[in-house]
Amino acid sequence: MPTLEDLGEKEVVRRILAMLEDNLPVGPGDDAAALDIGDRYLVVCSDIVSFGTHMPPGMSCRDLGWSAVAVNYSDLASMGARPMGAMVSLALPRSMDVDDALSIVAGTKECVAKYGGELLGGDTKEGSGHVTVTALGTVAKEGIMLRSGARDGDLLAVTGRLGRAAAGFLALEQGEDIPSAKEALFRPRPRVEEGMLLSASGAVTSCMDISDGLAASVHALSRASGIGFQVIREAIPEGVEVDEVEGDRDLMVLYFGGDYELLFTIDPQAVDRLYEAGLDFSVIGRARGTDNILVQEGEIVKLEDRGHEHFRP
Amino acid sequence: MPTLEDLGEKEVVRRILAMLEDNLPVGPGDDAAALDIGDRYLVVCSDIVSFGTHMPPGMSCRDLGWSAVAVNYSDLASMGARPMGAMVSLALPRSMDVDDALSIVAGTKECVAKYGGELLGGDTKEGSGHVTVTALGTVAKEGIMLRSGARDGDLLAVTGRLGRAAAGFLALEQGEDIPSAKEALFRPRPRVEEGMLLSASGAVTSCMDISDGLAASVHALSRASGIGFQVIREAIPEGVEVDEVEGDRDLMVLYFGGDYELLFTIDPQAVDRLYEAGLDFSVIGRARGTDNILVQEGEIVKLEDRGHEHFRP
């Protein structure tokens, strides 16, 4: 019998998704699920963060709590939803300091207070150190953004600047103190306002967050929309932090993950609406053909489909 | 610094609850939180079940998945809500057999299919073996049942028969094969239909589930409502399984927990509505005074406030 390690996270998740029904307006497999509650969609998502895999040295319990909400709010943002709140469930070792446990809750509360909604409750049990957050939000039915809407000729764009979380991780490994890179890694900022703005613009045809890395996300958007993307390497906005650490730029910007920016496609006829709205975003390519390619220094190369994956060593 | 073990689950949860705001129609501290979504309340709850503490020998992965949904649907039922669905997040060891992991999902799906709603999605990460479910439901605003509504003179009642899960646990320990007791322990049946019926009756003044044991739940209802209860020991309906194992009857029926029945109070003027609705329930006492007492063989004794508690050895 294969183990989870043998298969790897993506194949395990694929098999789980295959077991789920699909009677929902937006089913499992997108960043979040959507339920019809009358005039709007209720958007729901869950993400687990763990002491082991999501807590680099120097990250505080408060940062971990913040991150647990932030990664979920990023999924709400990718659908264009306004947050209603978060359920926070803690599986904690009995030997844990009570103040550390309360710091996790304080971090979740801080992130909720910053980005909207309420801390709704949760559960606390004995365990090896996991924080599971389920976030809820609502979005106008006509405003919901999915992974599947990209069409031939659409512009491909991202919010913010990439590679910052990766630079933070490498800086830690190298013993370098780069505060803004550390901040990017420990205190990810979900693009909640930007997601609502994209949704309201009516100019966006598909959207997701790039938490697993830009390259893996372009491939995911491509699979969901059934179209390829041409990405211009030089057009990808890079955080200044990328210049401040030693390391492979492409790894940081394309493959590492941990940047909670939004990747989206724009109807080219309507792109002015986003500029007029004052949104900070960069066009990095367009939808065209069936393959996902990277134009780098004038050369066309294949955009590799790799990023962060769990269960694998 | 005290650890979680030093304080015990109840005090840890009390300190966490003290950190949460209370801007909600129903805040953290009840069985679930409620959010205003226009014409109805959205009811949300989360519960974690773990391989270690919630999986006695002989319980299958499929049973565990079922239970993870059932305990959450029981919380929805206690508020009178109709289930919309469940998010299921898995923190699993990488050495786990893939078929076992998929069996957990199959169990959650089976319970959702039985009691209503959809499996909405979730997350899968590496961890020590926890299933965190967040369940969602809706209830009419005037029909929501809280812990806090019991009034002097109200009747105290429970659904079903008690001590069955405890009998199942003891039977396992004693190597006895009592199928219905094992079923009660491994496949708890949330009182979803009963909860909706209680809610619709307009006769119920407060409600909660008795997952932590009847005695602990009477005390919790008492604290939330600010009134004491007189419980008649002989009026408590016992499962036939209680007769079939060796063990302390009071432990099984009053203190052990694991029975997912509803404990509720009834306006005595309106009790006929529940009989007319054909509900299977038993009146076990009434709200009176400030203490929680047990009338046992004609003697009045104090009802002890003890039940299941995590973090403590």
**pLDDT of B312 strictly over 50:** no
CA distance B257 to B252: 8
What residues of chain A lie within 8 A of the CB of B37, using their CB? 37-38, 42, 138
Strands B155-159 and B229-232: unpaired
Question: Above pLDDT 70, what percent of chain B?
Answer: 96
What residues of chain A lie within 8 A of the CB of B20, using their CB? 109, 119, 121
pLDDT tens-place string over residues B163-218: 999 999 999 999 999 999 999 999 999 999 999 999 999 999 999 999 999 999 99
CA distance B138 to A275: 40
Q: Which of A80, A17, A75 is nearest to A46 (CA)?
A: A75
Interface contact B98-A128, CB threshold 8 A: no
CB atoms closer than 10 angstroms to residue A29: 19
Tokens of A110: 């801080």
Q: Which of A206, A263, A274, A202 is nearest to A236 (CA)?
A: A263
Q: Which of A305, A222, A224, A262 is nearest to A27 (CA)?
A: A224
CA distance A41 to A138: 6
Query: What is the rounded average pLDDT for all residues in chain B?
Result: 92
Mean pLDDT throughout A240-260?
Answer: 95
- DSSP β-bridge partners for residue B302: B293
Run of H or E including B295? strand B293-296
pLDDT of the residue at A87: 95
pLDDT tens-place string over residues A167-193: 999 999 999 999 999 999 999 999 999
Mean pLDDT throughout A277-281?
Answer: 92
pLDDT of the residue at A21: 64
CA–chain centroid gap for B312, Å, is 20
Query: What is the rounded average pLDDT for all residues in chain A?
Result: 92
Angle at A305 between CA A300 and CA A310, to 5 degrees: 155
**pLDDT of A133 strictly over 80:** yes
**pLDDT of A308 strictly over 70:** no
Q: Reduced to 3 states, what is the DSSP secondary structure of residue B19?
A: helix
Closest residue on chain A to B128 (Cα):
A128
Q: Is A122 on the interface with B (CB under 8 A)?
A: yes
CB A57 within 8 A of CB A45: no
Interface contact B121-A94, CB threshold 8 A: no
pLDDT tens-place string over residues B23-70: 677 766 677 889 999 889 999 999 999 887 778 888 999 999 999 999
**pLDDT of A291 strictly over 70:** yes
Q: Is A18 on the interface with B (CB under 8 A)?
A: no
**pLDDT of A313 strictly over 50:** no
pLDDT of the residue at A27: 62
Run of H or E including B44? strand B40-50
**pLDDT of A309 strictly over 90:** no
> In this complex, which of B6, B20, B128 lies closest to A128 when CB atoms are compared?
B128
CA distance A49 to A52: 9
Per-position b or e across B129-142, b if 16+ CB within 10 A of its CB? bbbbbbbbbbbeee
pLDDT band at B313 (very low <50, low <70, confident <90, very high): very low
CA distance B58 to B71: 19
Angle at B131 between CA B88 and CA A86, to 5 degrees: 55
Run of H or E including B122? strand B118-126
More confident: B31 or B241? B241
Q: Is A277 on the interface with B (CB under 8 A)?
A: no
Query: What is the nearest CA distance from B244 to chain A, expressed in angstroms?
Result: 32
What residues of chain A lie within 8 A of the CB of B102, using their CB? 15-16, 19
pLDDT tens-place string over residues A193-214: 999 999 999 999 999 999 999 9
pLDDT of the residue at B1: 75
Q: Which of A105, A110, A112, A111 is nearest to A131 (CA)?
A: A105
CA distance B128 to A4: 13
Mean pLDDT throughout A256-268?
Answer: 96
Tokens of B207: 């409600």
Rg (CA), chain A: 19
Q: Is B102 on the interface with A (CB under 8 A)?
A: yes
CB atoms closer than 10 angstroms to residue A21: 12
pLDDT of the residue at B309: 56
